[in-house]
Amino acid sequence: MNPLSRVLSGRVMALVAAGASAAVIATTFIGEKEGESLSAYQDGAKVWTICRGHTATARPGMRAMPEMCDRLFASDVGTALSETDRIVTVPMSEPRRAAVASFCGFNLGLAKCTGSTFIRRLNADDPEACDEILRWVYVGGKDCRDPASNCRGIVIRREQEAALCRL
Residues designated catalytic? 34, 43
Measure the CA–CA gap between 103 and 90, rounded to whole angstroms: 17
Measure the CA–CA gap between 157 and 48, rounded to whole angstroms: 20
Instruction: Specify the DSSP element, H or E, that contains 40.
Output: strand 37-42
What sign for the dihedral angle of Cα 3, 159, 50, 74? negative
